[in-house]
Amino acid sequence: MPELPEVETVVTVLKRRILGLTIQNIDIYYDKMMDEDTKTLLIGKTISDITRQGKYICFHLNPYVLISHLRMEGRYFFKDIDEPKLKHEHVVFTLSDGLSLRYHDTRKFGTFDLRHLSDYKVVPPLSQLADEPFQIDPKALYKTLKSKHKAIKTALLDQSIIAGIGNIYADEILFSTRINPHRMTSKLTQKDTTNVVNAAILILNQAILSGGTTIRTYVSELGVSGRFQLKLMVHQREGEHCYVCGGSIVREVINGRSSFYCKTCQKR
């Protein structure tokens, strides 16, 4: 699933290519993703800005904001208008420069929500997001974590606790801080929490500079190659040697999610 750095990369490329263009038409091939009322409201609107909130992409089309979530396998592609539509291209935007922006989603899990520009951040889905590592107060996060009774790996994936982190970066953050992914949040210290926030900021920024991580089903769309997978310390490295201690990286399932870590560096 695309996480904060991957979504930030997509936003950067989208802004470079389609900012200032007008939506001339929208073809909807999967009506559970977008309805005709939304289509009607968006035709003729100009893309004035594209921003990111957590893992959401926000297309600013005054007086509306179209909020897009890629979920597991959503991708955007630029294509010529006359290029044949592929099976899994579910929403096709025709833009004023003759460009076709196509939303491709094999699993059909992606979502589009239309909100008013005046209050889009204070209503669902964005109102359900916590602060990102870049803005979050470590002391406030510590209080939140102390009140929970769940594994820290699970907590880092909870977007209502801290936004933008997914499975890949949660593993990398916990390895960087030498915290075992099974460790309960109620057992964390203030120092642990501060270290997690600092590591998250560092790792996410590095990943953004690298264009994100290209791994498994996620391929950096729009012609951008993610290179952060070359810097992964533990994620998807089951059975390989730890770069720090030489031990073996293990994979264990925590609350339904595969977690990769070093048992020596990250003792329980």
Query: What are the residue numbers of the active site?
Result: 2-3, 55, 257
* Residues 37 and 202: beta-carbon distance below 8 Å: no
Q: Let me know how long the chain is.
A: 268
Tokens of 141: 């996060």
H-only helix segments in 105-214: 138-146, 152-157, 167-177, 190-209
Tokens of 105: 């989603």
Amino acid residing at 194:
T
- Number of C-beta neighbours around residue 15 at 10 A: 14
* Residues 109 and 99: beta-carbon distance below 8 Å: no
Residue 69 and residue 7: Cα distance in Å, rounded?
9
In degrees, rounded to 5, the angle at the alpha carbon of residue 251 between the alpha carbons of residues 245 and 254 is 120
Quote the DSSP letter at residue 268.
Answer: -
Calculate the CA 141 to chain-centre distance.
20
Collect all residues with Cβ–Cβ distance below 8 Å to 29 and sequence separation of at least 6: 85, 89, 90, 91, 92
Strands 111-116, 257-262: pairing kind: unpaired
Residue 128 and residue 137: Cα distance in Å, rounded?
17
Residue 27 and residue 33: Cα distance in Å, rounded?
12
